[in-house]
Amino acid sequence: MILAAPRTVDRDAPLGVFDSGLGGLTVVRALRDALPAEQIVYLGDTARVPYGTKGSATVIKYALSCAKHLVARGVKALVVACNTASAVAPERLRVELDIPVLAVIEPGARAAVAATRTGRVGVLATAGTIASGAYPRAIAQCSTRADCVGHPAPLLVPLAEEGWTEGEVPRLVVRRYIEPLALAGVDVVLLGCTHYPLLRSVIEDEVRNRIGPHVTVVDSALATAADVSAFLLDRSLDRRPTREGGGVHLIATDVTRSFREVADRFLGTPFGEVELVDL
């Protein structure tokens, strides 16, 4: 039997990241802080957003098309920044693509389990992610002593996209979503959607007020960035520092009138041109 030669990976190749929309730019933001030398190619499937309302087969099909497009651009690894896609697609991507695939659910689950003292972990996420059961499964794999209490928080997505990240309106909405977690007695609240980090300060305030100062808020974007950083460093796939540093190339499948404003908000800094593609 003749074995195929192992795939040679260029450590200076870009890192590929995709999401159903622009929310995954919070993951890119965290990646840039953790790996400032990396070149990142981000694909937002804005023409088919949201994934959370789609069936699993459709989400896997969309995830494959995004992933194959990034692989064709020569990325060295893929980060699935979409929680919905992370719940159903990573194993299929790993089977079909000859490239490392990392996702946001497992790192967030590990960080939450590491932070809990009581074993009671609360998760705020979209309805689709909660319904998938992905976080309870991931948390159970990390610890058989940890219980997961998930609660959908769908209104946080439009609030983040509209820039309503402070004030009475987001505070009242967050308070409503925190109440079930308070009743469950959690000591960790995991932000299981890429939009939610923009509302982190409001969430932390309401968590302290409604549950207590002992509760830890875990950002899955930061946990994912730490996971990706460790993965690349361990395999000597991290890009060597250069004079010009890293950067982000933004690709989208549709561009709306508010696209740049929303993208700037999630990335935390203005970006250059956006490339429009048809998948």
* Domain 15-103+223-276: assigned CATH number: 3.40.50.1860
Judged against a pLDDT cut of 60, whether residue 4 lies above it is answered with no
Check whether domain 106-220 has CATH 3.40.50.1860, yes or no: yes
pLDDT of residue 55: 87
Torsion over CA: 27, 30, 35, 37 (sign): positive
**C-alpha to C-alpha distance for 228 and 230, rounded to whole angstroms:** 5
Q: What is the pLDDT of residues 27-83, one digit of tens each?
A: 999 999 999 999 999 999 999 988 888 888 999 999 999 999 999 999 999 999 999
Q: Which structure tokens are listed for 244?
A: 């010009």
Task: Name the pLDDT band for 271 (thresholds 50, 70, 90).
Answer: confident
pLDDT band at 7 (very low <50, low <70, confident <90, very high): low
Is 106-220 in the same CATH topology as 15-103+223-276?
yes
> What pLDDT is attached to residue 1?
36
What pLDDT score was predicted for residue 94?
95
For the purposes of burial, counting CB atoms within 10 Å of the CB of 108, is it exposed (0-12), middle (13-18) or buried (19 or more)? buried
Query: Average pLDDT in the 150-170 region?
Result: 93
What pLDDT, on a 0 to 100 scale, did the predictor assign at position 175? 97
Instruction: Give me 119's structure tokens.
Output: 């074993």
**What pLDDT, in 10s, does the model give residues 14-27?**
999 999 999 999 99
244 pLDDT higher than 90? no
Q: Looking up tokens 């960035």, which residue turns up? A: 225
Q: pLDDT tens across 204-232, in order?
A: 999 999 999 999 999 999 999 999 999 99
> So what's the pLDDT on residue 64?
97
What is the pLDDT confidence band of residue 9, given thresholds at 50, 70 and 90? Answer: confident
Tokens of 82: 């979409």
193 an active-site residue?
A: yes
Q: For the chain, which residues make up each domain, given as ranges?
A: 15-103+223-276, 106-220
Which pLDDT belongs to residue 145?
Answer: 93
Active site residue 148: no
End-to-end CA separation in angstroms for the chain: 37
pTM of the prediction? 0.91
> Rounded mean pLDDT of the chain?
92
> Exactly one of 66, 142, 148, 193 is catalytic; which is it?
193
Given the residues 66, 82, 142, 148, select the one marked as catalytic. 82
User: For residue range 108-144, what is the model confidence (pLDDT) as tens digits?
Assistant: 999 999 999 999 999 999 888 898 899 999 999 999 9
In what order do the strands lie in the sheet containing 188-191? 147-152, 120-125, 188-191, 216-219
Pairing of strands 120-125, 147-152: parallel
pLDDT recorded at residue 243: 74
- Count of CB atoms within 10 A of residue 247's CB? 14
The answer on pLDDT for 5 being more than 50 is: no
